[in-house]
Structure 1
Amino acid sequence: LWTVLVLVTVIAVAVGSWWVASGRYGEVPQVLGQDITGARSAVEQAGFTSTVSKIWSDDDPADAVTGTDPETGERVVRGSEVAVLVSKGQPPVPEPSDSDTLASYQAKLQDRSLTWTVSADVWDDDAPAGVVAKVSPTSGTTVDTGTEVTVQVSKGPRPVKVPGVSGMTEKKATQTLENAGLKVSGTTEAFDADVDGGDVISTDPDTDTEVPSGSEVRLVISSAVTVPDLSGKSMEDAAEALRDAGLNPVTGEAVSDTDEDAGKVAETSPSSGTRLDPSRNTTVTLHPSDQVKVPFVIGKTAKDARKDLEKEGFEVKIDGRSGGRVISQSPGPRTRVTEGTTVTLRTI
């Protein structure tokens, strides 16, 4: 019995020593040239648990089995996990996302077995400050593993000064601002006695304010209405023109110191060219002329001359023969005088 027990103990110790020393280990099999399914089967038949790990490779096409981890031939405890390495091909330079900081983009490069160098920060209208703006080689380019990618971080949009557009039309001001890299967000109306209606008074932000490129600028547009030049127009036409301009016409006293004919507009109050605030004052007074031209009657008979003058509203005085011909007149021909003025005719 003791002999049997000693033999069993010796055998158990020998087997245990063998198992601890080498029996529990298996050799990782060769899987090159196999497809993924075959490679995993070979690993499992060797007594291991198989997984798949994809890696970037300069030498093997995508989806080709490139080896194992641990490597082929290594002795590993049976039941351990052995990864079948599958090629993803050469890595492309990753595309920076809208939120990629330097650190997050470096992690992407590292994941693709790429290295990096950081260059000077750049102004960029599309990338916010602090995110990756540019990379070289350009994103999407297929490169060797270990390739160095130059990374530049955005400083945000380049600052620009708001250009002066006061006095410009809205269209021209908009074009000027857009050429400077800014956007017109809308308009606000205000009155300015020095700026024609529809033209730009100012901007918000103000001229020469430094703002990021792409910023929005609001235009302040003049609401002024300019009194038009109505001299020589009939009172009816002048009133209509004022109403069309948004102004309120009223008739004032006639004026004599004018070159316009009677009934025509001689002057306005406020005068033409004055800019009015349509929210406060829209009344324009029309002053007609009371002056008429003295007709040319020299050479006519006194009778015919009287008839022509009285038709135009003049009083007539004959100096000479009432049946004679007119040799002069006072006031002279085509002189402008007040209606009802007496014209003296000298006859022979």
Structure 2
Amino acid sequence: MDTQVADTLLGSLIDGRYRIRGRVARGGMATVYTATDERLERTVAVKIIHPTQAPEARARMAGFVARFTDEAKTIARLTHPNVVAVYDQGTHGGLPYLVMEYVRGRTLRDVLAERRRLNPDEALAIAEQMLAAIAAAHRAGLVHRDVKPENVLVAEAPTGGAANLVDSVVKVADFGLARAVEASAEEENGNQLMATVAYVAPELVTEGHADPRTDVYSAGIVLFEMLTGRVPYDGDRPVDVAWQHVDRDVPAPSTLVPGLPRTLDDLVGRATRRDPGARPTDAGALLAEVQVARDDLGNPNSHTAVLRPVHDTPVAQPTMVVAEVRPAERPSWARLPDSGQRPHRRRATAPEGGDLAVQLAGLRTRAMGSPRGRMAIVAAAMVLGLVAAVGGWWFGVGRYTVAPQLVSLTRAQAEAQAARGGFTLVYTQPRYDDKVPKDSVLGQNPVSAARIVKGGTITLTLSLGPEKVSVPDVVGKDFELAKAELTDAKLTVAKGPARYDDNLPAGVVLATEPKVGTVLKPGAKVTLVVSKGRAPVSVPNLVGKNINEARAILAQLGLTPVETYKDSDKPKDEVLGQSPADGTGVEKGAQVKLEISKGPAQVIVPRVIDLPCQQAKQVLESQGFPTTIQLNPNGVTRFQNPGENSSVPPGTPVTITCL
């Protein structure tokens, strides 16, 4: 019966204090579990480094643990409302672990998987808190080195608005973890790039060097992904993606999502300059720019001017009352500590002196004082009114139409329909879907029947069809390694019954069910058959032995013969063949199949009675029977032995009696 292999850490007690309750996520360097701190009776998160991330040489394990401990102490001293707090550290089973604050919420990667991309105010709100956490680390002399959506946690808002990302609390995790692992990898294998290639800064690729500007670059890529729903570069191999950061400039987000403000293009461009010296110096500097961008987007007219009307009689200089429009306040629980004063735009001021007011009053008096002037003013007012009406109709209604229904159409059909309506199509990253066929439209923005500018752009998401995975070739690999590879391929692993094998040692995968290369749906079960090593009994060589001798040998070894007989030129009861072959390992009680000779095929003795003696001898010997003559060689054959029509082995001697 197949059995599912469970996580051995579930339910275990670490350091006599942390009871593992469930697995939250498995990443490239570590696995995260929820646990109960039985001493303080609170829920915590426990992150345990994978065995493959620790140095392979056990002699250097102590150095890795010491370095990891130093990094953990540095992180624990980093106290900030947007940083995932570290409570404890230690080792379990020789592997380092961290005990951290348990954040109830989702990763930014989960949010993007659900929403695809965020609107600008949500993206900037998340970036502001993310950068506040990284800025605190930079002030403490710590570089994150692996800023990406998987390490950004979006916690539930105290107001309960799960969908309101602007008011959500953002926390950043894994400060210093990549550096601790990378330092040990350098001792073992030289410099290695311990960063996610989609977000890696150019200097990490070319020089292996990281400073606060490296985190600024990665944060800029995260902001790009939040705004556009994709990372700027992709490729068949990670190294190809990494070198694109070195060789190419990050495109402006508005080239992928038309309509994004120029402010966001400039912000992303500044953060992702290939030259580190052209970027903001650290996360704090980039945070100040994000805050200014939020002010710009939230307050297109930061000040409102109210002028008093001009009267016919000369009056004193008109006054201008300026009222500042304040941005919407964030909840107090989510407000970030200021690192300094934000830059403010200069307020508009009233013009100095009264010359302009006097001139305007004089011009109005002269125009209203003549009939032609009054007619000109009326005509101008009518023209302006007509222009305003037509313009209002055009900008409010006339230039708009409705978006066509493109969902469920094939790509060719959608492009043809869009062309008929004069629309431009752009495509986002395609997604897998079990119901929508491949290359059919899975989603559109704006949705069908929504208002859109005539000749505008419609963004389509195409389906990749049902997600399929092939069973990877794990035959010959250790069970745990094969299990990890299948899990990474989104397949479920079960351990089948083990069996003996003469060639593969115990614990190595012999076969998979279904077979390697079979195409399955994600989550499908794959059963692994594992070797038990060589069987304890070796089959002897029995070919050429008499069956009685072969039986005795097999009985002494505790093996069971299974016999079959066949015609053969070999002597009767001689063993002609065996299965398994000699030297094969089997268990006690196993069957050994034997092929045994029945001897040569029987032949019929011909009748030679009443034939002349010499003629009878000639007939018998011509058919292979040695012949002996008794009494008169020149007489007539009266008797023969064996008798006529007897079945005898070939070459049997025949005696004839002649009289």
**Which TM-score band applies after superposition, normalised by the shorter structure?**
0.3 to 0.5
The answer to which structure has the higher strand fraction is 1
TM-score by length of 2: 0.23
Q: Greater relative contact order (Cα 8 A, min sep 6): structure 1 or 2?
A: 1
